[in-house]
C-alpha cells in the first residue's frame, strides 16, 4: 500500500472569518498528515486556504479527511483539487 498526496481548497464562509483561527483548526484536524498550508486570495477580499496532506492509499481515507475539514466551524466548503500517488 502506498501514500497519496491530496490537495484541498478550503473556503471560509465569508470575508470576515479570522483566517488565523481557521488555519489553526485546519492544522489541528490534519495533524501529522499536513505537509503544506497556504492562504491565497480568490476575489473581492475572499481568501482560501490551500493544503496538501499525505495519507495512506486505502479506501475511505480521502473522504474522511474531506469530511473532517468540512466539519470545522466557519468553513463554507472543501474542494479536493488534486490527488497524486507517491
**34-43: strand order across its sheet:** 34-43, 46-56, 3-12, 75-85
Does the predicted TM-score (pTM) go above 0.85?
A: yes
CA distances from 21 to 2, 4, 27, 28 (A): 32, 27, 10, 11
All structural domains of the chain, each given as residue ranges with its CATH number in brackets, are 3-85 (3.30.70.60)
Per-residue pLDDT of 36-74, as tens digits, reads 999 999 988 899 999 999 998 887 788 889 999 999 999
C-alpha cell at 39: 492562504
Residue 5 has pLDDT above 90, yes or no: yes
pLDDT computed for residue 44 by the predictor: 86
The yes-or-no verdict on residue 1 having pLDDT over 80 is: no
Amino acid at each position: 500500500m502506498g501514500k497519496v498526496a491530496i490537495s484541498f481548497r478550503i473556503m471560509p464562509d465569508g470575508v470576515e472569518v479570522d483566517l488565523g483561527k481557521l488555519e489553526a483548526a485546519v492544522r489541528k484536524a490534519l495533524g501529522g498528515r499536513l505537509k503544506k498550508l497556504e492562504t491565497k486570495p480568490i476575489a473581492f477580499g475572499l481568501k482560501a486556504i490551500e493544503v496538501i496532506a499525505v495519507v495512506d492509499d486505502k479506501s475511505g481515507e480521502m473522504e474522511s479527511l474531506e469530511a473532517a475539514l468540512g466539519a470545522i466551524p466557519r468553513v463554507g466548503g472543501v474542494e479536493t483539487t488534486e490527488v497524486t500517488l507517491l
